[in-house]
Structure 1
Amino acid sequence: MISSQIPNRPAMFGTVLVANRGEIAVRVMRTLRESGVRSAAVFTEADAGARHVREADTAVRVGSYLSAADLVAAAGAVGAQAVHPGYGFLAENAGFARACASAGLVFIGPPADAIELMGDKIRAKQTVRAAGVPVVPGSTGSGLTDGELAEAAREIGMPVLLKPSAGGGGKGMRLVRDAERLAEEIAAARREARGSFGDDTLLVERWVDRPRHIEIQVLADAHGNVVHLGERECSLQRRHQKVIEEAPSVLLDPATRAAMGEAAVQAARSCGYTGAGTVEFIVPGADPAAYYFMEMNTRLQVEHPVTELVTGLDLVEWQLRVACGEPLDFGQQDVTLTGHAIEARICAETARPGDGGVDFLPSAGTVLELRDPTGPGVRVDSGLAPGTEVGTSYDPMLAKVIAHGPDRATALRRLRAALAGTVVLGLETNTGFLRRLLAHPAVVAGELDTGLIDRHAADLLPEAVPDEVYEAAALLRQRELGAAAEGGGWVDPFSVPSGWRLGGEPAWTVHHLRVPGREPVRVGVRDGRVRVGDGSEVPARIDVAGARVHLYRDGMACTFDRAGDWLGRDGDSWRVQSYDPVAAALTGAAAGPGGGALTAPMPGTVTVVKVAKGDQVVAGQSLLVVEAMKMEHVIAAPHDGTVTEIDVTAGATVAMDQVLAVVVPASEPDAAAPGSGEAS
């Protein structure tokens, strides 16, 4: 580890306000605690019981994480000398940095002018180009109209990437391959950018085929010293948002690493940067030497732990020290990369087959059971705790699991094992998907690009819920109903699922079960045997030990974690609910694609309604837009037909599986509305 001994070190802050929430707030507080600095949290009403609030030394309620006035007032209330913005929210907001300075607070980040310059992607490209850094070909000028953006896209040549000039994190980015869709995609990108950053200014760039996303971590002090801490490979993305990051990249040789590092240092110098920042490059996989500057993130990155693990540096500690006026006590020649580190982002989302491949949809719920993984080289940065309420108002990332090893193969193996040992029950997460992704041959070989997940996501989804999940759920229900019958008092003997009958073999007890997003199934239980659907019956039994359920079936044993209706195993989780086919038929819950009922694929808010009752629509036509966790999901017509019902309006909050509209197929003029459908 690089030395941290500085004679005559400037005085450290007494109290720092962490102007953020979730896992990054918890992570910053960890370094504050280790540095002997008092931490102050902020929270909204929805976060009153959150982990970051409980772990802080003090906490202040604010109206919004996006209100600079509220955050500055909170800092004054707790006597803070500095504010750490984390990432997201106001971390890259120059106005917030200036508001802190005006209040006599140190903003633990770069100068406001640097944030403002690099936060405008158009000006940022112009600035770094002047410093000799190669940039991606794209539009020039700010404030382009929709028509000017479309014209620039046609001049550049399809495909192109639409990007918000403000903000980051993939929000509002749209890959457009068909020029005919430019108007629709520009409008959608503006809506997302306005909703995420309050600024709908867009730019357009050439799309680099099979690109790799590689970024360089820089660290600069106020004394003119700037170093880079190597690169991170961030090519595994969905919806232009990273889900797996690693350091170093298998793509770069020492010469390319040094050249990209020097380019990142020059980019930082060009804007007068101080503190920790990241310079992002797009790199053609076939020609790593042909790298292009994309943007600079003027803050700590989500993926900073992989750099910490391979360099031995605590980046938050160095943010604090630079903000206190300390110079860097090491040079570029002192930076070495040891071993390999890989990070997986645990998000509140579910991957489901969609018309265009796989949809990654936000989820929500209460954390009922939680267990972080352990093991050699494993680190967890998390904002979760048992009882945490996960809603759809904020980014879906919940935690990060990171593994370090002497080489990439070891780090991969450790991370897959850590994900298999991660338990989050009460809402759906992407943990199991990420574990399978990390075992994909292309990932194991290091043959990465930003489109890999889109191409292979469908192969990473289980074809069906495993039979043993339904078997364990049915046996649990059988056990619980039997225990209730033995609990004393009079019980209707016909309600006890014992299978008893007068003469002959015991009868089958049938449990109707359903996992959201899947078709209902019947599971029969009889005298130590189970049968899922029309499958073969197999011997099966369970043992329950606390939150663990051990299933022994047909010569196989497996263990599930359990909380309420939830079962989890190897990072995957399923909510297995009882299902009443008669009630479903009566209420319309069984209305499926054939009946034309369109349901909400995720909990969220309806932002756009494009049709009215009685409208004629064609298959694939956009009818509504539902937003959750700053992500838009278009609800399209499943077939040609007539809109017979629209059950929501713009601004309405909807639950998962709620009926939004009904489109009666053109070939079925007399088809019923949501109540139609046959019980499964």
Structure 2
Amino acid sequence: MTMFDTVLVANRGEIAVRVIRTLRDMGVRSVAVFSDADADARHVREADTAVRIGPAPASASYLNVPALLDAARRTGAQAVHPGYGFLAENAGFAQACANAGLVFIGPPASAISLMGDKIRAKETVAAAGVPVVPGSSGSGLSDAQLADAARGIGMPVLLKPSAGGGGKGMRLVRDEALLADEIAAARREARGSFGDDTLLVERWIDRPRHIEIQVLADEHGNVVHLGERECSLQRRHQKIIEEAPSVLLDEGTRTAMGEAAVQAARSCGYVGAGTVEFIVPGNDPASYYFMEMNTRLQVEHPVTELITGLDLVEWQLRVASGEQLPYKQADITLDGHAIEARICAEDPARGFLPSGGTVLSLHEPNGHGVRTDSGLSEGVEVGSLYDPMLSKVIVHGPDRETALRRLRAALSELVILGVPTNAGFLRRLLAHPQVVAGELDTGLVEREVDGLVTDGVPEEVYAAAALLRQSSPVSASPVDPSGWVDPFSVASGWRLGGTPARTVRDFRLPGHDPVQVSLRACPAGTELTFGHVGEGAQPPEPPTGTCGPLAPLPGGRETARLIERSPHRLVLELAGVTHTFTHAASPEGTWLGRDGDTWHVQDHDPVEASLTGAARSGADTLAAPMPGTVTVVKVAVGDEVVAGQSLLVVEAMKMEHVISAPHAGTVTELDVTAGSTVAMDQVLAVVAPTAEPGEDA
């Protein structure tokens, strides 16, 4: 068969860039599509040609089938690669491509339709001898029937949208009394994500492992599996770390699960690259159950590529062009270990709420055994319209220990200034003792999350950066390989006797008493000492003498040592943690830095350090926790509410966040309606508290 000349990539972001890379390697012309929000996106610049398909909302652009087909017609494309997400598992789109004379690079519409319906999928693979999770049978169940089925199975149960995947709309219910609310929420999210609110309910397996098998099939009846991927590290049913192979499986179980996945693919007439997902009891790996089949390329496909040496996008193209797989199952071998981390625009310190902003400075890791799949570039605006995943960092090593070490190191190199991400959280997760030991399950992250999320950068560090930004330059000393420093060659103002090189400066942090900072010249740089200046308190004396070890100061304050300073870089050390600030040009003159997470420091007059998002509304005021869209408003001004009552729902990047009443009271202000677009920290509503007995009303 003849390979395509031109392929349209019906997607955006990192997956579009990744598909374009393989098209370029194969000598195939690539066509990118873009919304108004993505006019200057990386995938647009890297493609051979690009076509605008509509305004920013996905419904008017990336989900606009007529616009996509017209772009293919106008550019002479013979085939369409859907990537993942958007229309990748949409049987109607696959059929529309076929009707337009285009090859859909994926399975036939019939397979997408069958496996996209989780209820029919379970029935089909069960008939083929594949074990399935006990759960509800039949589609179109009412809320009452779903609740009855859940009670019949026994708590806990998992509610799942029949039409979707990726954890969207899934609800784990342990309390029978919450079934009605959870069913309603699951339906709403499923309808918003997939346009279909059909649900099923399954038995929940405590401490399960999520193991998936990659399959590859051609239209000549050949099907092989490419080993498994361990996807048990998840938050809110969303995978965040994936690896291959799994430490859980022995060769016998791996072979059995692989054969079951092949049978599942055959049962639906599958063609192309697909994934069969299993849930596995951690204490009994031989007991595995089919969950679903993803009829597309998976986000985590790079780990399979790294251990098999196969380019899955290339084989998607070859199979779609009619080629026959040259591999038998015995030809597939696994080499070493690969791990992937998903980098998402979210703020762990704010409950993992979606974040956004402009990428002001970018450094993505590479090197031996390291691969980064990314849709980012400097200057790109990350908004709330699309999926929060920005990039993936993937590593390969001869063994799991090496791969873990390489991935932690790679994440420490990653710099995405201007957009808070989960990179630091992932690095800490990869160092967790249970992760290192391979003792994984899908609930591990949720159980350990509090210990993996930092409280953010200490205020002393913000303050020091803001102060240094406005003060005259103080350079750090050069240190030779032996560690010796010539103090007389340092332009820091240091001199014999240790007299302070800078006077004490006053500044205040938002919501705090004034703080005084003393800058003292030292042979290795400048030491900054902090002290509170409360009402009637005497300012602390400037430090004198030689630079000694760091020591706690009154009020729990510690010294922050300036390690390095240049026009574009500040390095501060506090309590054994080094914080690097990098200046990136922006209209506000913002300084940004990282220690695995991104933070902002802005200059004010008088000198003041401002933590992004630090301003908080009063206890009565409900503010948007993230930029997004209000999808549900359940109250009106004047309504009486109880503490914890759900009032509004804000959605961003396919995530719902329920806004609840902080206390019993009356809704006195409501500033939004369903469909309103809101900014982070924008006031949504005000709930005046119910007066306590004896208080004035």
Taking structure 1 as the reference length, the TM-score comes to: 0.88
Bigger drift between 21-30 and 465-474 goes to 465-474
Measured after TM superposition, the shift of residue 474 of structure 1 is: 2.3
Partner residue of 2:655?
631
1:40 to 31, 38, 46: 31
1:408 lines up with 2:400 in the alignment: yes
2:670 to 629, 646, 649: 646
1:565 to 557, 582, 590: 590
**CA distance, structure 1, for counterparts of residue 577 and residue 305 of structure 2:** 42
Deviations 1:455-503 (A, max 9, x none): 0001101134235632442233323799xxxxxxxxxxxxxxxxxxxxx
Letter in 1 for 2:601: V
Indicate conservation of the 8 Å contact 2:627/2:680, yes or no: yes
Measured after TM superposition, the shift of residue 544 of structure 1 is: 3.7
Bigger drift between 278-287 and 180-189 goes to 180-189
Measured after TM superposition, the shift of residue 376 of structure 1 is: 1.9
1:613 to 631, 637, 641: 637
1:301 to 298, 301, 304: 298
> 1:70-81 alignment to 2 at 5 Å?
70-81=67-78
Partner residue of 2:569?
548
**CA distance, structure 2, for counterparts of residue 476 and residue 115 of structure 1:** 58
**CA distance, structure 1, for counterparts of residue 513 and residue 25 of structure 2:** 52
1:441 lines up with 2:433 in the alignment: yes
1:417 lines up with 2:409 in the alignment: yes
Secondary structure, counterpart of 1:257 in structure 2: helix
Secondary structure, counterpart of 1:183 in structure 2: helix
Measured after TM superposition, the shift of residue 368 of structure 1 is: 0.6
> Unaligned regions of 5+ residues in structure 2, if any?
55-60, 475-499, 521-527, 533-554
**CA distance, structure 2, for counterparts of residue 556 and residue 178 of structure 1:** 43
User: Identity rate of aligned residues, in percent?
Assistant: 73
> Unaligned regions of 5+ residues in structure 1, if any?
1-9, 354-358, 483-503, 673-680
Report the CA distance shift for 1:270/1:506 in structure 2 as closer, same or farther (over 3 A).
closer
2:377 to 354, 363, 385: 385
Measured after TM superposition, the shift of residue 590 of structure 1 is: 6.0
Indicate conservation of the 8 Å contact 2:593/2:599, yes or no: yes
Report the CA distance shift for 1:669/1:362 in structure 2 as closer, same or farther (over 3 A).
farther
**CA distance, structure 1, for counterparts of residue 244 and residue 330 of structure 2:** 18
Measured after TM superposition, the shift of residue 612 of structure 1 is: 2.1
Partner residue of 1:538?
559
> 1:179-218 alignment to 2 at 5 Å?
179-218=176-215
Bigger drift between 525-534 and 337-346 goes to 525-534
> 1:648-667 alignment to 2 at 5 Å?
648-667=672-691
Deviations 1:333-368 (A, max 9, x none): 011111000000000001236xxxxx3210111111
**CA distance, structure 2, for counterparts of residue 531 and residue 140 of structure 1:** 65
**CA distance, structure 2, for counterparts of residue 589 and residue 138 of structure 1:** 45
Measured after TM superposition, the shift of residue 560 of structure 1 is: 3.1
**CA distance, structure 1, for counterparts of residue 593 and residue 503 of structure 2:** 30
Indicate conservation of the 8 Å contact 1:232/1:245, yes or no: yes
Partner residue of 1:18?
9
Bigger drift between 159-168 and 552-561 goes to 552-561
2:348 to 330, 351, 375: 351
**CA distance, structure 1, for counterparts of residue 633 and residue 473 of structure 2:** 45
Deviations 1:115-145 (A, max 9, x none): 1100111110010000000001111111111
Taking structure 2 as the reference length, the TM-score comes to: 0.86
Partner residue of 1:92?
89
Bigger drift between 556-565 and 620-629 goes to 556-565
Report the CA distance shift for 1:560/1:137 in structure 2 as closer, same or farther (over 3 A).
same
Aligned length: 630
Letter in 1 for 2:182: E
**CA distance, structure 2, for counterparts of residue 522 and residue 543 of structure 1:** 26
Partner residue of 1:676?
none
Deviations 1:87-123 (A, max 9, x none): 0000001111111111111110011111110011111
Indicate conservation of the 8 Å contact 1:540/1:554, yes or no: no
Secondary structure, counterpart of 2:471 in structure 1: helix
Indicate conservation of the 8 Å contact 1:431/1:572, yes or no: yes
Indicate conservation of the 8 Å contact 1:470/1:532, yes or no: no
Indicate conservation of the 8 Å contact 1:125/1:293, yes or no: yes
Letter in 1 for 2:506: V
Indicate conservation of the 8 Å contact 1:131/1:267, yes or no: yes
Indicate conservation of the 8 Å contact 1:513/1:522, yes or no: yes
Indicate conservation of the 8 Å contact 1:513/1:577, yes or no: no
Bigger drift between 303-312 and 544-553 goes to 544-553
Letter in 1 for 2:185: A
Report the CA distance shift for 1:330/1:614 in structure 2 as closer, same or farther (over 3 A).
same
Indicate conservation of the 8 Å contact 2:11/2:86, yes or no: yes
Partner residue of 2:258?
261
Deviations 1:142-172 (A, max 9, x none): 1111111111111111111111111211111
Partner residue of 1:316?
313
Indicate conservation of the 8 Å contact 1:442/1:448, yes or no: yes
Report the CA distance shift for 1:200/1:553 in structure 2 as closer, same or farther (over 3 A).
closer
> 1:392-541 alignment to 2 at 5 Å?
392-467=384-459, 469-479=461-471, 508-513=504-509, 523-528=515-520, 529-531=528-530, 534-536=555-557, 538=559, 540-541=561-562
Letter in 2 for 1:631: M
Bigger drift between 657-666 and 220-229 goes to 657-666
Indicate conservation of the 8 Å contact 1:309/1:404, yes or no: yes
Partner residue of 2:495?
none
**CA distance, structure 2, for counterparts of residue 539 and residue 395 of structure 1:** 38
Measured after TM superposition, the shift of residue 550 of structure 1 is: 2.6
**CA distance, structure 1, for counterparts of residue 590 and residue 232 of structure 2:** 36
1:367 lines up with 2:359 in the alignment: yes
Indicate conservation of the 8 Å contact 2:349/2:455, yes or no: no
Letter in 1 for 2:667: V
Partner residue of 2:623?
599
1:172 lines up with 2:169 in the alignment: yes
Letter in 2 for 1:664: A
1:50 to 23, 41, 49: 41
Indicate conservation of the 8 Å contact 1:14/1:38, yes or no: yes
Measured after TM superposition, the shift of residue 524 of structure 1 is: 3.1
Indicate conservation of the 8 Å contact 2:461/2:560, yes or no: no
Measured after TM superposition, the shift of residue 654 of structure 1 is: 1.1
Indicate conservation of the 8 Å contact 1:23/1:382, yes or no: yes
Indicate conservation of the 8 Å contact 2:571/2:579, yes or no: yes
Report the CA distance shift for 1:250/1:616 in structure 2 as closer, same or farther (over 3 A).
same
Report the CA distance shift for 1:550/1:68 in structure 2 as closer, same or farther (over 3 A).
same
Bigger drift between 424-433 and 575-584 goes to 575-584
**CA distance, structure 2, for counterparts of residue 412 and residue 573 of structure 1:** 22
Deviations 1:226-247 (A, max 9, x none): 0000000001111111000000
Indicate conservation of the 8 Å contact 1:18/1:41, yes or no: yes
Partner residue of 2:57?
none
Report the CA distance shift for 1:435/1:556 in structure 2 as closer, same or farther (over 3 A).
closer
Report the CA distance shift for 1:520/1:417 in structure 2 as closer, same or farther (over 3 A).
farther
**CA distance, structure 2, for counterparts of residue 112 and residue 546 of structure 1:** 57
Output the aligned Cα RMSD. 2.7
Indicate conservation of the 8 Å contact 1:92/1:115, yes or no: yes
1:271 lines up with 2:268 in the alignment: yes
Letter in 2 for 1:300: L
Secondary structure, counterpart of 1:343 in structure 2: strand
